[in-house]
């Protein structure tokens, strides 16, 4: 299990290293705050600060789910939107990665 946590931590660090405009950090912050989001909810939150398309938000959320492995995805039926929730076992890794990103960007 520890090896998996280390791999996820490294993936998260690389993901944040490529964050040019701060939107990735912003999305992770929203996920930490809200714990559960849909694409629509995340789109509305992001557009308060950034100008992005709905499909870009959906793509980003899908990437975080599939490549980083820090989200659960639940779709109750084909009529309901997918609800993404943060996996509790990775909350500490995400908080640490965000703090390290803040430290690096202010140094």
Largest CA distance in the chain: 47
Tally of structural domains, the chain: 1
* 43 — pLDDT class (breaks 50, 70, 90): very high
Q: Which residue has the higher pLDDT, 106 or 23?
A: 23
pTM: 0.86
* 45 — pLDDT class (breaks 50, 70, 90): very high
* 103 — pLDDT class (breaks 50, 70, 90): low
Region of 87 on the Ramachandran plot (φ > 0 left; ψ -120 to 50 alpha; else beta): beta
Provide the residue range defining the domain that includes 81: 2-106
Of 57, 64, 101, give the one whose Cα is nearest residue 86.
Answer: 64
CATH code for the domain of 69: 1.10.10.10
Q: How large is the average pLDDT for residues 78-96?
A: 93
Cβ–Cβ under 8 Å, residues 34 and 41 = yes
């Amino acid at each position: 299990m520890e090896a998996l946590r280390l791999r996820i931590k490294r993936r998260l660090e690389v993901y944040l290293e490529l964050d040019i405009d701060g939107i990735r950090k912003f999305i992770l912050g929203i996920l930490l705050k809200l714990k559960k989001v849909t694409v629509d909810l995340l789109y509305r939150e992001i557009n308060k600060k950034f100008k992005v398309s709905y499909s870009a938000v959906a793509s980003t959320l899908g990437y975080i789910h599939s490549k980083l492995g820090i989200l659960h995805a639940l779709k109750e039926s084909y009529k309901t939107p997918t609800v993404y929730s943060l996996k509790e076992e990775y909350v500490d890794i995400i908080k640490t990665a965000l703090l390290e990103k803040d430290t690096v960007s202010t140094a």
